[in-house]
Amino acid sequence: MPEKYDAIIIGAGVIGTCTAYELAKTGRKVLSIDKNSVAGYGSTSGSCAIIRTYYSAFETCAIAYEGWFYWEDWANYVGSPDPRGMIKYHNTGSMVVKTEHNKQLSHICEIMDRLGCPYTHLTPDEMKARLPIMDTHQFAPAKRPDDPHFGEPTAPSILGGIYFPNSGYVNDPALAAQNGEHAAKSRGAKFRYNAEVAAIRQAKGRVAGITLKDGTEIDAPVVVNVAGPHSAKINQMAGVFETMKMKTRALRHEVAHVPAPEGFDFEKKGMVYSDSDIATYARPEIGNHILIGSEDPECDTREWVDPDNYDRNFSEQWRVQALRLAQRFPDMKIPSRMKGVVDLYDVTEDWIPIYDKSDLPGFFMACGTSGNQFKNAPVAGKMMTALIEAEAKGRDHDKDPVDFHLDHIGKDVSVGFFSRNRAVNPNSSFSVLG
């Protein structure tokens, strides 16, 4: 006889474990499945774990600002200490460079004003006062090092920046997922690892459960796809992929770790840093290092891959990202030995996630999230639970989208904004910035 649960969560990354926690709090019998051996060992472990409030749309900014309150008081959210340890959130603040490309952040500032989210305008001199290692020349547009004009200033100065005080990073992204697992287990949720889903079963026109690769059948009237870069494969198993207007696919990405310039303690005095002028972002890393990621400029090739078969070795892109940041931090030395992370993003066409039901009743999805949704995990878990609860009571979310109240900031967002059937959002950054 198949095992029976009220809900199955596919994926035990940070969003998956938060969703399991929130569903378990409703009294449901919840089972989380993951093909890895431990929670958070998929794409979550490769996350930069940056917590910030700025995106390209009101709804994404709203859930990000709401999410900040959970990270700031993580122990209270989890409920009891995880014996494996608890993550540490470092509220460093974030500094974002104004460019013509991001319209000098005017749209984002308008959204921050609507949300009551604090920020401060900075002149280039004020930016350098906060981060003395900066060279404030303009270098846009972003180029690759083989461009003969790479590293040459294109204007005497950048336009300035914005400082967001409610920003920072989590020290251990995998542990964040494990803390979520601990919280979910405290509410009765079960977890099964080294378990690969082979089929999504249906009966009487709705989801009936899953079949694992070893043949084990598990029944549940609710199945939630939180499989990260594997989400497209799970949606294909469920037979819902082709009817989705907004689809997902896996994108290979590299993050470089390099030492901070000598004489400056970036680990203690640095901050989250986003620079569209050089298409690079950065944050402090342990050991006075700098973590460097790409903001996906047009001159770089995007490498769409099979999540079960891709190159995990560093490439020339590692050096490209390090050299781009070295334009801004000219005293930064780039070591010959490459260190950092090679992992995957789960990306939609407009880089805004899908939090939605599907055309198969009982089958839900929280996907297209990798790269920029780590910070929203607690809110995403709550939103998915509210959506599942509403559908269980007979509401058709496609026809009557669920509104979700953000308790900390006192705002409402429509979960319909994250629909699988939405049009491409033209206001998106079309990058990891979301």
What is the Cα–Cα distance from 138 to 158, expressed in whole angstroms? 5
Query: Which is it for strands 289-294 and 161-164: parallel, antiparallel or unpaired?
Result: unpaired
Check whether 425 has a pLDDT greater than 90: yes
Element (H, E) at 95: strand 94-97
CA proximity to 225, closest of 356, 346, 364? 364
| pLDDT tens digit sequence for 301-338 | 999 999 999 999 999 999 999 999 999 999 999 999 99
The residue type found at 273 is Y
Beta carbons within 10 angstroms of residue 226's beta carbon: 31
What DSSP state is assigned to residue 306? B
What is the Cα–Cα distance from 422 to 181, expressed in whole angstroms? 31
Query: Which is it for strands 354-356 and 289-294: parallel, antiparallel or unpaired?
Result: unpaired
Check whether 411 has a pLDDT greater than 90: yes
Check whether 2 has a pLDDT greater than 90: no
| pLDDT tens digit sequence for 190-218 | 999 999 999 999 999 999 999 999 999 99
The pair phi, psi for residue 56, each rounded to 5°, is -105, -5
Sequence-distant (6+) residues with CB within 8 A of 306 are 250
Paired with 223 in beta bridges are: 8, 363
Q: Quick one: pLDDT at residue 203?
A: 98
Q: What is the mean pLDDT of residues 174-202?
A: 98
Q: Quick one: pLDDT at residue 27?
A: 98
Beta carbons within 10 angstroms of residue 430's beta carbon: 18
Q: How confident is the model at residue 152 (pLDDT cuts 50, 70, 90)?
A: very high
Q: What is the mean pLDDT of the chain?
A: 97
Check whether 1 has a pLDDT greater than 90: no
What is the Cα–Cα distance from 98 to 297, expressed in whole angstroms? 16
12 and 185 Cβ atoms separated by less than 8 Å: no
- High-pLDDT (> 90) share of the chain, %: 98
CA proximity to 82, closest of 172, 192, 193, 194? 172
- Peptide bond before 307: cis, by omega within 30 degrees of 0? no
Q: What is the dihedral of CA 60, 62, 63, 69, to 10 degrees?
A: 140
Query: Which is it for strands 30-33 and 7-10: parallel, antiparallel or unpaired?
Result: parallel
Q: At what angle do helices 377-392 and 173-186 cross, to 10 degrees?
A: 40
What is the Cα–Cα distance from 127 to 421, expressed in whole angstroms? 41
Token pair of 214, please?
A: 């070893």
Q: At what angle do helices 173-186 and 14-24 cross, to 10 degrees?
A: 20
What is the Cα–Cα distance from 266 to 288, expressed in whole angstroms? 6
What is the Cα–Cα distance from 208 to 3, expressed in whole angstroms? 12
Element (H, E) at 20: helix 14-24
CA proximity to 277, closest of 130, 119, 101? 101
Burial of 359 (0-12, 13-18, 19+ CB in 10 A): middle
Q: What is the mean pLDDT of residues 376-399?
A: 98
Q: How confident is the model at residue 370 (pLDDT cuts 50, 70, 90)?
A: confident
CA proximity to 177, closest of 26, 351, 344, 46? 46
- High-pLDDT (> 70) share of the chain, %: 100
| pLDDT tens digit sequence for 61-101 | 999 999 999 999 999 999 999 999 999 999 999 999 999 99
Q: How confident is the model at residue 32 (pLDDT cuts 50, 70, 90)?
A: very high
Q: At what angle do helices 377-392 and 58-72 cross, to 10 degrees?
A: 110
Domains of the chain: 3-86+172-247+350-418 (3.50.50.60), 94-165+251-344 (3.30.9.10)
| pLDDT tens digit sequence for 259-318 | 999 999 999 999 999 999 999 999 999 999 999 999 999 999 999 999 999 999 999 999
Token pair of 363, please?
A: 């089958």
Sign of CA dihedral 186, 190, 193, 196: negative
Q: Quick one: pLDDT at residue 42?
A: 95
Q: What is the pTM of this model?
A: 0.97
Q: Quick one: pLDDT at residue 288?
A: 97
| pLDDT tens digit sequence for 51-63 | 999 999 999 999 9
Check whether 227 has a pLDDT greater than 90: yes
Token pair of 263, please?
A: 């004489």
The residue type found at 92 is T
| pLDDT tens digit sequence for 357-369 | 999 999 999 999 9
What is the Cα–Cα distance from 12 to 163, expressed in whole angstroms? 33
Q: What is the mean pLDDT of residues 226-241?
A: 98
Paired with 251 in beta bridges are: 304, 345
Q: What is the mean pLDDT of residues 32-57?
A: 97
Burial of 349 (0-12, 13-18, 19+ CB in 10 A): middle
Which of helix, strand or coil describes residue 356?
A: strand
293 and 370 Cβ atoms separated by less than 8 Å: no
Q: Quick one: pLDDT at residue 371?
A: 86
More confident: 88 or 2: 88
